[in-house]
Structure 1
Amino acid sequence: MRPKSILRDPYLYIFLIFILYPLYPFIGDFTSLGSELLLFFIFTLSFNLCLGYTALPSFGHGALYGMGTFGAALTFLHLTPNMGVGLSLVIGGLTGMAGAAALGWLIRDKKGIYFAMMTVAFSQVMFGICWRWDEVTGGESGLTGIARSTFLGIDISGSIPYYYLCFAFFVACAILIRIIARSSFGMTLQSIRQNPIRATYLGYNTGFYKFLVYAISGFFAGIAGALYCFLAGAAFADIFDWTKSGDVVIATLLGGGTASFYGPIVGSLIFLVCKELISAFWENWLLAYGLFFVLIILICPRGLLGLLGQNGNSCGTPKEKREI
């Protein structure tokens, strides 16, 4: 990559902003919020592989995040309490991938609302299992006693070291997701999104591609969930609730995930800032956020980046469409 290309790369500025986050006055004191932001970036970017690139309305995506959380928690508590968190994070990612692969294979040929409802049903089934399986998941009480120790020999027990671990994972996952999106595989996903019938006539097995992207998305969602497990120090059943899936959908659409690769990052930033900061001053913050979301969608159905990138009255230019 040429130096001029690097300077025009949005990732460069996103990474610079967040590598310095703990040093900022006032907001730098909220390192847990910064870590949660980074994890939500990974989560929404993974979700956008399904929604923005393949037009798969995975409205139960929070289940994959939750599977990563419980996969990491169970691994840490029963297998590796004295071996750091590395293996737990890997198992968390693979657990999310396994759940996505199992569901994705069953619903790979479903379309639209049928696909969406199947994912929501899966999410609620996982919530019910987790809530009642006391012997494994802890049921209503959840799993506690998860303490950060070391990662590859580095002490991450403090909030700032753990923030930078989350940052390192965000950088790695974000780069990998963009490589996938810009690869020939990603181009195939876009063709399926635009016209699945034509893609089938061209010889692509659209069901298999949908299954594959869903499994890949599940892996990254699982990684985000596993990191959240060590951020919270616990795993509770409510992480499988439908509201978690709703959060990622709203954040992705608000930022403009269907218009730009970077839309989920913008939407996540707005969503979590509203959730964590505005709610501290006004308990009805969801009302203001909901009205803002409706306003943006009415003005530009493709989200904030679709609005900012328009040339004229319509949202999204041909250049943006090639960029997705």
Structure 2
Amino acid sequence: MWGVGVRLELDLVKEKKQQWLWAMVLNIQKKMADTNLTLMEEFILLGFSEYPNIQGFLFVVFLFIYISILLGNGLIIIITNVDSALQTPMYYFLGNFSFVEMCYTSNILPRMLMNIWRQKRNISLLSCAVQLCFFLILVVTESFLLAVMAYDRYVAICKPLYYPIIMNQRICVQMVFGSWVIGIPVVIGQTYQIFSGPFCGSNKLNHIFCDLPPLLKLACVDNIGGELFLYVNCFIFGLTPFLMILMSYIRILSTILKLPQTTGRSKAFSTCSSHVIVVCLFYGSASIAYFHSNSSYSGSIDKIFSLFYTIVTPMSNPMIYSLRNKDFIAAM
């Protein structure tokens, strides 16, 4: 009798489980019907297709920018590695930063140029996921490299006697390596979370590359969790290095103001001014692109600000650092 009772209870549990699964399937089908779900195999990157008459001009402009970025940042890498006078932590970080800038734009501009040239703007889901993953990894790397460069200036100005001890070769290599790998696990997880779910509605991305905000807008599931995860990651991997930069420069400023000589102050300011300009360009445009409210969302404005932190900053980086640096000009 006990065995019969257990069997009946198991059958009842199995039946309830089947009813629950069937109800879940019906609920999913209802959501699919309500959201007009389509299994997408590719996206269409609209880019600047709303301006068909100037596509040739845009191709020439972006090609010139891409070549300038490769030549300018490549020159920084070569000079900082060849010239013995530039074998210092500051130029070691600058060379790595220039390499990140080259990778950054090479992840975006070649496909953009190909889309403009061929007038075929489709991109597969896999290619889109790979582009997004590399883009986020490079963004995190650039953010922490900027923080490392600010810390280097802090030690050089606020603790000059201890600079060779604190910023030794082993520490510098560890800082650069940590900047590269610190965000990889989270970025891969976030990319998987976005592309593991279905997309519904239009497959058109009103953007110049596969970025988080336009992809979240096409996700069929409730994207509150995805957006929350996005803002948490932005806080950890974006705001944290920015706060580190801010703290470093607050201490640098307080130290500079205590210097008795005007020449010493101007020299200290000149060594930091290039880095401050790059930080303002990168964080200013990126924060506007990612943190503006959805009510004021405009695809054109979003694309323009995306150009600033993906193209304008890498292009201006060699000019900012070379034209304001006497040692670098002498090395050239």
After TM superposition, the score normalised by the length of structure 2 is 0.26
Higher gyration radius (CA) = 2
Decide which structure has greater helix share: 2
